[in-house]
Amino acid sequence: MNGEPASHQANLIAEIVKRLEARYGKAKWQPRMAPLDELIHCILSQHTSDTNSFRAFRALRKAFPDWQAVVDAPTEQVAEVIRSGGLANQKAPRIQAVLRIIHERRGTYDLDWLRELDTEQARQFLLSLPGIGPKCAAIVLCFALGRPVIPVDTHVFRVSWRLGLIPRSLGEARAHRALDAIVPETLVYRFHVALIRHGRAVCKAQRPLCEQCPLTDLCAYYRNAT
């Protein structure tokens, strides 16, 4: 895909989205959580399922009246509350550290002010927080702020490199910038959702169900495997 004209890439991505939406439906963006809530949930979501991470987030919000109470609580107590999300002993101190630094820098537990920044400025602030990488930053930017940024999870990365949109050697972290550069802004959210749905249903990690895939004529992985 490298070296191809931008117009060809945009047309190819539009065709991919069109075909996947014909199968899975068209995704429409709507805000999911406030930016700070989205960030804390993203920390909880690492290395676990959506079911477990949302359960842990609800437990955290129920157990403590506000974010200051989370910061003030013994780390062991926070870890016990979020135990259902997995890796609680790692996530609890990270959550407290992130909240503490946000309050030190801004004087409040709030990230709504990120709406006033351009996308790159908001991304750099999020990346400056302890333990927050490209994926978490992209999730906040996309899901909470509606910015044209692609959160690259394992499904988005796998389907993208199999299609030949990016090289597999790039890795998930660097794939964020690479995909942001080639996916038209108007298709960013729809592309993200469509690839997740396809990765879960058909383009599976261990054995992709190529016989069920509407993209085989566009897919580098399929061409090389047949």
Q: Check pLDDT > 90 for residue 2.
A: no
| CA distances in angstroms from 42 to 36, 58, 137, 169, listed in the order given | 10, 13, 9, 25
**Do 176 and 135 share a structural domain?**
no
**Do 129 and 44 share a structural domain?**
yes
Domain that holds residue 175: 6-28+150-225
pTM above 0.85, yes or no: yes
Confidence tier at 225 by pLDDT (50, 70, 90): confident
Average pLDDT of span 187-211 = 97
Q: What is the 3-state secondary structure (H, E, C) of 135-177?
A: HHHHHHHHHHCCCCCCCCCHHHHHHHHHHCCCCHHHHHHHHHH
The Cα–Cα gap between 155 and 158 comes to 5
**Do 137 and 40 share a structural domain?**
yes
Q: Looking at the domain assignment, is residue 1 inside a domain?
A: no
Confidence tier at 5 by pLDDT (50, 70, 90): low
**Do 46 and 13 share a structural domain?**
no
Confidence tier at 42 by pLDDT (50, 70, 90): very high
Average pLDDT of span 15-26 = 98
**Do 132 and 154 share a structural domain?**
no
Average pLDDT of span 191-212 = 97
Average pLDDT of span 152-177 = 96
Structure tokens at 146: 């509606």
> Do 189 and 175 meet the contact criterion of CB atoms below 8 Å apart?
no
Average pLDDT of span 48-77 = 96
Q: Looking at the domain assignment, is residue 134 inside a domain?
A: yes
pLDDT in the model for residue 202: 98
Please identify, among 144, 162, 189, the residue that sits at the C-terminal boundary of a domain: 144
